[in-house]
Chain A
């Protein structure tokens, strides 16, 4: 139980360090780093590697944005098994829908309620 938290901290922190190195050494913008991470998550999941990382690190692997790519592919593959090639498009947002919908909703509400700062 305690070790779950320790591994979440270490793995999640390490993924962020990779991002920081890309920012500082390769001078990428945060948008480039986030895009790269999402693509990496999808590719790693293509080889079924990301699920192993989640089993091992829990939230250390599900909280970083890489898991967004992993969830996109997982949704696509689960529908592809049922509906064939068409299922890829049907299922691609199946698992990420909650995240995207809540980010839009909460982002909108925040923009309506709060005043922009400086």
Chain B
């Protein structure tokens, strides 16, 4: 008798086992390389425009987002995602990819109801949880600072 509960168990022997170590190595190498590209851009902006390390952060992120959006358009980033898993999802390029690919996927439904409405389907959760978390942590920290009178 197959129920909802034992179904997952009964199909387990037939499911391909995710190769954990291999996946982690792929994620490490690809994720690491994206960060190395970011480091290269940071150095470039510091040398060329005389930015400090902190000021170079925004142009670096923006450039990475531009590269990721274009690669998404050519369908390259989604292939990279299948190979690298979290290695391409965790860097900020994955955030850009989730926006560009959701927008592109719904293009056939029109610019307003398709592209604009669905753009934040995946990335929305990042912005919502980021904002709520930062707000709560900010309130706690500011209250603590005020009370302790630092």
Given known A35-B129, A103-B99, A103-B123, contact A16–B61 (CB-CB < 8 A): no
Q: Interface digits, A74-118 against B, CB 8 Å rule (1 contact, 0 not)? A: 001100100011001100100110111011101111111111111
Which A residues from 33 to 89 make CB contacts under 8 A with B?
Answer: 33-39, 41-43, 45-46, 58-60, 62-65, 67-69, 72-73, 76-77, 80, 84-85, 88-89
Which of A30, A98, A109 has the most chain B CB atoms closer than 10 A to its own CB?
A: A30
Shortest CB-to-CB span from B139 to chain A, Å, is 6
Size of interface on A: residues with Cβ below 8 Å to B: 77
Inter-chain contact B107/A111, CB cutoff 8 Å: yes
Identify which of A16, A46, A85, A88 contacts B86 (C-beta below 8 A). A16
Query: What DSSP secondary structure best describes chain B's contact surface?
Result: helix
In contact, B108 and A17 (Cβ under 8 angstroms): no
Number of contact residues on B: which range applies? 35 or more
Beyond the given A102-B66, A107-B69, could you list 7 further A-B residue pairs with CB under 8 A, ordered by the A residue number?
A: A8-B39, A19-B85, A35-B130, A39-B133, A64-B31, A103-B99, A107-B119
Chain B residues with CB under 8 Å of chain A are 18, 20, 23-24, 26-36, 38-43, 53, 57-62, 64-66, 69-70, 72-75, 78, 84-87, 89-96, 98-100, 102-105, 107-108, 111, 115-116, 119, 122-123, 125-131, 133-135, 137-142
